């Protein structure tokens, strides 16, 4: 623990004003993008106890990234889980929501890849397979690589599409024991996801 972080953590709560919170958050982000991870790490740990909402979500994402880059995968998983479950990203824009969900899914997948857990990689990537507002090509390619040696994939996907259902105005399919939000059927069969799985998987 750095001396600065220790002093900040010992600072009385009464001195942790909104201005302190904004300053800590801004410095955490600034140092992160400058790849000065030690400094970012220090300010992240100060800011995350004071900021709320999307700022707390962002701090957890940054901490997950720093730990991941350092090879501390258990800690990286802890913080991305906080960002995903406890401090979910809130936004009215569909592009922004899909972007954050895709980032989180890819981080989970990268961590589980290091654990050698292909089943979990597939489980976390499938829910973002049919996103159409962001570029999810890396996720789709990873899914296809994990399923390339399995038989009956196209038939299973076609069956899932045939049994599509609607819940709260959102269409879903259940494929590989995973619930996946999708567009209407016409959109699915034209999607990169469908074509990637159908290619050579008859």
Mean pLDDT of the chain: 87
Long-range contacts of 99-105 (CB under 8 A, 24+ apart): 99/133, 99/134, 100/57, 101/127, 101/128, 101/131, 102/128, 102/131, 102/134, 102/136, 102/139, 103/61, 104/61, 104/80, 105/139
Q: What is the pTM of this model?
A: 0.85
- How far, in Å, are 43, 66, 76, 170, 188 from residue 38 at the CA level? 9, 9, 15, 43, 44
The answer to whether residue 53 scores a pLDDT higher than 70 is yes
The rounded Cα 127 to chain-centroid distance in angstroms is 11
Condensed to tens digits (0 to 9), the pLDDT of residues 142-198 reads: 999 999 888 999 999 999 999 999 998 888 999 999 999 987 665 788 888 988 888
pLDDT at position 81, please? Answer: 97
pLDDT at position 200, please? Answer: 55
pLDDT at position 87, please? Answer: 94
Condensed to tens digits (0 to 9), the pLDDT of residues 79-114 reads: 999 999 999 998 778 788 889 999 999 999 999 999
CA angle at 77 for the pair 20 and 46, rounded to the nearest 5°: 10
- Pairing assessment for the beta strands 170-175 and 165-167 based on DSSP bridges: antiparallel
């Amino acid at each position: 623990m750095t001396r600065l972080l220790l002093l900040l953590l010992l600072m009385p709560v009464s001195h942790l004003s909104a201005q302190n919170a904004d300053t800590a958050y801004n410095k955490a982000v600034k140092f992160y993008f400058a790849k000065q991870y030690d400094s970012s790490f220090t300010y992240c740990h100060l800011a995350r106890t004071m900021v709320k909402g999307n700022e707390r979500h962002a701090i957890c994402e940054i901490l997950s990234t720093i730990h991941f880059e350092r090879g501390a995968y258990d800690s990286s998983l802890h913080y991305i889980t906080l960002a995903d479950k406890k401090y979910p990203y809130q936004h009215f824009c569909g592009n922004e929501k899909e972007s954050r969900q895709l980032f989180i899914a890819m981080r989970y997948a990268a961590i589980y890849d290091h654990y050698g857990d292909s089943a979990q990689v597939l489980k976390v990537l499938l829910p973002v397979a049919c996103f159409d507002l962001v570029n999810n090509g890396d996720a789709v390619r990873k899914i296809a690589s994990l399923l390339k040696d399995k038989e009956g994939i196209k038939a299973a996907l076609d069956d899932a599409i045939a049994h599509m259902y609607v819940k709260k105005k959102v269409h879903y399919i259940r494929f590989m024991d995973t619930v996946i939000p999708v567009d209407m059927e016409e959109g699915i069969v034209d999607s990169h996801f469908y074509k990637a799985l159908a290619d050579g998987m008859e």
